[in-house]
Chains A and B, each alone.
Chain A
Amino acid sequence: MSFIADTVLTEPSAMLDLGAAPRGFRGRIRGLRAFASGGLPAEELERRLLELGFVEGAEVELLHQGLFGRDPIAIRVDSATIALRRREAAAVLVEPI
């Protein structure tokens, strides 16, 4: 299941997924596009991301990244800092601000 806010549909070029974002990237979440990953079905990955605050409209900032393959990454979502892998972060669609 995916959920994309309508603003996205009007200017799709500006969007990228959080898994591809560089360090220092700041943006706003426009939608989640979950897929099965690491043995979790798409629906479950989506719920886990939502539970950690990755909800449409939230502001995110990519604060840190690891050495190997720039992975994992630390994302600031509002008042929380969440560490995750780029692979799963790719399910979060963002628009730069």
Chain B
Amino acid sequence: MNEMSAGLRDLRIALVGNPNCGKTALFNTLTGSRQRVANYPGVTVERKEGSFLSPGGRRVQLLDLPGTYSLRARSPDEVVTRDVVLGQQAGVAPPDLLVCVADATNLRLGLRLILELKQAGRPLLVALNMFDIARHRGIEVDVERLSALLGLPVVTTVAVRRGGTEALLAAIDAQAPASEAEAAWSAPDATGLRILQREADRILAAVVRVPDRRDAVTRRLDAVLLHPAAGLVILLMVLFLMFQAVFAWAQPAMDLIDTGFQALGAAVGGLLPQEGAAGLLRSFLQDGLIAGVGSVLVFLPQILVLFLFILLLEDFGYMARAAFLMDRIMGGAGLHGRAFIPLLSSFACAIPGIMSTRVIDSRRDRLATILVAPLMTCSARIPVYTLIIGAFVPDQPVGEGAWSWVGLQGLVMFGLYAAGILSALGMSFVFKRLLWRGQPTEPFMLELPDYKLPRLRNLALGLWQRAKAFLRRAGTIILSMMVVIWFLSSVPRPPEGATQPAIEYSFAYSIGQAVEPLLRPIGFNWQIGVALIPGMAAREVAVASLGTVYAVQDAEEDTAQLGQALAGRWSLATALAFLAWYVFAPQCVATLSVIRRETGGQRWMWFSFGYMLALAYVAALATYQGARALGLG
């Protein structure tokens, strides 16, 4: 420890500011963390803690908070901010210093918030962030004058550049020890707000010179992307391209991984004998690990392509525009306009999607979004869809000429995504009618940020984090479920002189047989029955389980690929019913527990589990029976 800091306790600092002004970017740069940063309001919805050593040798505990326009705390994320700023949490003292982050290119609302915070009487330091963009656009800010008019220290920062926080660090070191003043804040009424905004405008007029109030690039892009008709068409095309790409772009990498696992399986098979204890080990490695976990890992490239698209849209600034374009359609389904961003994030995973509903103020609107978010096709469903589509849908273009770039498989994939979206809209419509009849949806108000060029580093980091999370899942949940499945399908071993296939003596077979009567009407065989149960832990496990069960079953034949095994055994009707099941399939355990936490009780968790299970069964039943009636059985 440095002598200077001896005797000084840690400095506790919180970052406060409008949504999307760069608080999390600053937090990441200062503490070396990797919290989510994206170009739309409402990315951060909970408090995050980190720490760093200031140049002066002082240890600083830094808090990142959700963005807000005022301390009035209208939505659950804003409550977090207010409680920290005013020290209203039980047993936690307010921070020693508030760093008020404001977007230098869009100072007006930030300045009003700073004036409101000033009334609360806490020690403040102002950071004018995105100063690089401001300079680029020729916006001039008289920092000294601003500091004098506000009576507060003001520094400029560039959160996304190394060295862009030097002035801020110096100012933190210069900060006098905090006084223990009580926070005296009361919610401003309309008159109070007007007075504050007028004062902010007066200060702005004195210190800021803006050549052009609007970013030229944003203006030109919005003329197209927010065009009433063209904008909607483009949004649809972006989504369509995304799902096509998931299918088309990932293929080479997937083939490579697949070949690798097959070679590995063959190598292991060659090394170990088929008989005795070593045979059991061989079966475990080959059928349990390589066929099971391998069948899930193959999907990594697809999941990364999907995430790449979502990250690009988020960083570019398109998410808020998509919400704008979709507002009326969402409203027709009884959803709040702001629900679109959580739903779009649910394409990746329902969990962050459900978390991000915290930006919705009204509890009812929020609950409706939480209930339907798991219907959006999350990335864990990609393996299931891809496997079945790959096995049953021919790989050919939809048509000739102009249509030759659209693959039939990609089109079916898009159809499944569309089914998810439509059912989410449909269900929210039903909930709104049945549960919350006649209660109006709260007004939609959303700031549209300027477009920004996505930063390569942010993209790479985001993709790397997703890849890591996926691999971790494969290595933990999926792996352990696979061990269980392999065990159940290999034990007990058949008695001497058994006449049936070995697997028919296993526990898995008994379990599958037990649930099969329930599943027969929807066309599922006992192998699917075995796969569905662990599929609740994580949806990909269903694929991995099928991989293991069929691998054990076909141990003698050395089947090359799960897809081929299924194509030979399932009727088209069964395959379609399986897809229909997974459009609605009850969500994974992790999603259920997030629903419980976010809704504050078990009730809505069981409700969503139940309604999705019922929908899945009915959809699979209708699909199977319909397909059979058409002669596809």
Interface on A for B, CB 8 Å cutoff? 1, 3, 32, 37-40, 43, 45-48, 50-53, 55-58, 63-72, 74, 76-85, 87-88
Contacts and interface: CB of A to CB of B under 8 A. Distances in A.
Contacts of A52: 69, 109, 445, 447
Interface centre among A37, A68, A88 (most CB of B within 10 A): A68
Given A83-B320, A84-B445, A85-B443, A65 B228 contact: yes
A40 B445 contact: no
Contacts of B460: none
B327 A38 contact: no
Given A39-B440, A88-B443, A81 B448 contact: yes
A43 B190 contact: yes
A32 to B, nearest CB: 8
- What band does the interface of chain B fall in when counting residues whose beta carbon is under 8 Å from A? 35 or more
Contacts of B198: 55, 57
Given A50-B194, A51-B69, A80-B106, A87 B443 contact: yes
A40 B441 CA distance: 10
B108 A80 contact: yes
A82 B447 contact: yes
Contacts of B362: 39
A54 to B, nearest CB: 9
B297 to A, nearest CB: 41
Given A81-B447, A83-B320, A84-B443, A47 B193 contact: yes
Contacts of A88: 443, 445
A74 B324 contact: yes
A27 B45 CA distance: 35
A79 B106 contact: yes
A51 B106 contact: no
Contacts of A64: 222, 226-228, 324
Contacts of B229: 67
A7 to B, nearest CB: 16
Contacts of A58: 201
27 contacts: A37-B443, A38-B443, A39-B440, A50-B193, A50-B197, A51-B109, A51-B193, A52-B109, A53-B109, A53-B112, A53-B197, A63-B222, A66-B328, A67-B231, A67-B328, A68-B329, A69-B328, A71-B327, A74-B222, A79-B105, A79-B210, A79-B213, A82-B445, A83-B320, A83-B448, A84-B443, A84-B444
A72 B328 contact: yes
- By Cβ-Cβ distance, the 4 closest A-B pairs, closest first, are A67-B228, A50-B193, A64-B226, A68-B328
Contacts of B165: none
B145 interface: no
B190 A3 contact: yes
B328 A71 contact: yes
B446 interface: yes
Given A46-B190, A67-B229, A82-B448, A39 B109 contact: no
Interface string B98-111: 00000001111100
Contacts of A50: 190, 193-194, 197
B201 to A, nearest CB: 7
Nearest to B326: A66
B70 interface: yes
A87 B320 CA distance: 20
Nearest to A88: B443
B69 A83 contact: no
B442 interface: yes
Contacts of A45: 443
Given A37-B443, A84-B443, 15 more contacts: A47-B72, A50-B194, A51-B72, A52-B69, A52-B445, A64-B226, A67-B229, A68-B328, A69-B328, A70-B228, A72-B444, A79-B105, A80-B447, A83-B327, A88-B445
B214 interface: yes
A72 B228 CA distance: 10
Interface in B314-333: 320, 323-325, 327-329
B213 A78 contact: yes
A80 B443 contact: no
A67 B329 CA distance: 10
Contacts of A70: 228
B232 interface: yes
A74 B448 contact: yes
Contacts of B496: none
A65 B227 CA distance: 8
B572 to A, nearest CB: 39
A51 to B, nearest CB: 4
Contacts of B228: 64-67, 70
B108 A79 contact: yes
Contacts of B447: 52, 80-83
A20 B516 CA distance: 61
Contacts of B222: 63-64, 74
Given A67-B229, A71-B328, A74-B324, A83 B444 contact: yes
Contacts of A55: 193-194, 197-198, 201
A83 B445 contact: yes
A93 B197 CA distance: 17
Interface string B424-449: 00000000000000011111111110
A72 B193 contact: no
Interface in B30-47: none
A64 B218 CA distance: 13
B556 interface: no
A23 to B, nearest CB: 9
Contact of A1 (B190, B218, B231): B190
Interface in B435-494: 439-448
